[in-house]
């Protein structure tokens, strides 16, 4: 994972690159850490995520299930409310509402209960 936070006239730009070795859990946790750091260093500034993903491609060119979920579910359905915009392989997305500035704590993630039929994935 590589990450970077930079400030300009548009707000705070969060650069995050998921490596081939990272799985969904690691990438999601790293993104949330980056959001928290940005809020600490630049409170309430508009946040713009630039997400890059190394590898994680199927033979047909589509993303594997981890990175598909990271972009389509975790980012679009959860983290987007804490951003002004996001740029990723799926394209650029703007949040139509004002971003929320109370970034969730890292302890929001919990494992599925054993025997619950879940895939033992992080729940968000």
pLDDT in tens, 12-65: 999 999 999 999 989 998 999 999 999 999 999 999 999 999 999 999 999 999
What residues make up the domain containing 19? 2-99
CA distance 124 to 73: 10
> How many CA atoms, within 13 angstroms, populate the side-chain half-sphere of residue 121?
14
Asked whether residue 54 is domain-assigned, the answer is: yes
The 10s digit of each residue's pLDDT in 53-103 is: 999 999 999 999 999 999 999 999 999 999 999 999 889 999 999 999 998
Q: What is the pTM of this model?
A: 0.83
For the chain, the domain total comes to: 1
Asked whether residue 122 is domain-assigned, the answer is: no
* Paired tokens of 40: 């600490």
Asked whether residue 57 is domain-assigned, the answer is: yes
């Amino acid at each position: 994972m590589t990450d970077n936070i930079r400030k300009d006239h548009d707000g705070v730009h969060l650069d995050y690159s998921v490596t081939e070795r990272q799985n969904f859990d690691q990438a999601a946790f790293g993104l949330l850490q980056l959001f928290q750091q940005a809020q600490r260093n630049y409170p309430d500034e508009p946040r713009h995520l630039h997400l890059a993903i190394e590898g994680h491609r199927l033979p047909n060119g589509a993303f594997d299930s981890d990175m598909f979920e990271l972009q389509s579910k975790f980012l679009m359905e959860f983290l987007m409310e804490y951003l002004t915009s996001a740029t990723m392989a799926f394209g650029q997305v703007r949040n139509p509402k004002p971003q929320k500035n109370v970034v969730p704590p890292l302890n929001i993630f919990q494992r599925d209960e054993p025997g619950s039929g879940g895939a033992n994935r992080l729940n968000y």
